[in-house]
Amino acid sequence: MAAASDRPGEFELIARHFAPIAGAGGLGLVDDAGLLRPARGYEIVVTTDALVAGVHFFPDDPPASIARKALAVNLSDLAAKGARPDGFVLTLALPQGWTESWLADFAAGLSRIAGEGGCPLIGGDTVSTPGPLTLSITAFGSVPAGRMVPRSGAKPGDLVLVSGTIGDGALGLKAHGPARPAWVAQLGAAERDFLADRYLHPQPRLALAEALQRHASAAMDVSDGLIGDLAKLLKASGVGADIELDAVPLSPAARAAVMADPALAELAWTGGDDYEILCTMPEREYSALMAGAGEISVPLTQIGRITAEAGVVHYREKGRVREFAHGSFSHF
């Protein structure tokens, strides 16, 4: 534990750890606000997420991993809207006992994901708190006017697709956490490490943004569980869906976990923390979207089709109807 007298003050802290990673819009982090200049004919997309120690990550997780997740989940939202990242602001509430070495590692991790995502820091606030470590990021992106991909655009007959693989984050939480279930021991070390990494280090699908913008009718990222997030998209669009659960893509590591404990299939479908893209599109756009995804090596898998029955979802597994009491993670 560092003594308070050994730590930099707020302005020195900002100058030392955050000003070096700020973009031009941050104005050196010496002003009361940042500045964004959207290109002519573009609109601004805004998203925000808060993360709390003990809720969204373990308090002893590596600080660089915490920083990566905090920004990555926002970049995932921008990707689902078809937006290009432009910048972000950070609110950081540091608990008692924080150290400068922790903060340096946090800033380094934040710098890496900001660079990867092309999303520079442009401002924020740093405070102390008697409670747990809490951070909130608001990210800004831009899209050509009228081209943002909403949740509410799905139409009957549209195809339902997901990117990447589903369930790795929820299973990774179990594999990474201190109270590991018995099935974790049945996995190989590489499988455990893969799942834990997917939980710790989300990979926002920014490369898909332009293809979604061109071809998708509706989209959102899978953060709270595929089943629950699909329900949100369907409600926003006023439609239903037929979903083939056997088509939901699983990684080899997730398949190994489900083989060790078949009940984990439901956790994979409902657990969340995937940060993949769930999208719909008219069938005529399918080939073009798949070609675009192929060019950037992002796999997309069709898992169903939109129907006209508002709010009604038919899930099938091995030819049988499947129902879910709880479709996703909920804070409340």
What are the residue ranges of helices labelled H in the chain?
Answer: 10-13, 63-80, 100-117, 168-176, 189-200, 209-215, 226-237, 252-260, 264-270, 286-295
49 is in an annotated binding site: yes
Structure tokens at 228: 């629950």
158 is in an annotated binding site: no
One-letter amino acid at 207 equals: A
124 is in an annotated binding site: yes
32 is in an annotated binding site: yes
112 is in an annotated binding site: no
246 is in an annotated binding site: no
56 is in an annotated binding site: yes
25 is in an annotated binding site: no
Strands of the 313-317 sheet, one edge to the other: 218-222, 276-281, 159-163, 300-307, 240-244, 313-317, 320-322
Cα 273 to Cα 222: distance, rounded to the nearest angstrom = 7
C-alpha neighbours within 13 Å on the C-beta side of residue 118: 11
**Is the distance from CB of 51 to CB of 92 less than 8 angstroms?**
no
Cα 65 to Cα 108: distance, rounded to the nearest angstrom = 10
47 is in an annotated binding site: yes
125 is in an annotated binding site: yes
221 is in an annotated binding site: yes
Query: Which segments are annotated as binding site for substrate?
Result: 56, 273, 329
Query: Which segments are annotated as binding site?
Result: 32, 47-49, 56, 77, 124-125, 151, 221, 223-224, 273, 329
Query: Which segments are annotated as binding site for Mg(2+)?
Result: 32, 47-49, 77, 125, 221, 224
Query: Which segments are annotated as binding site for ATP?
Result: 124-125, 151, 223
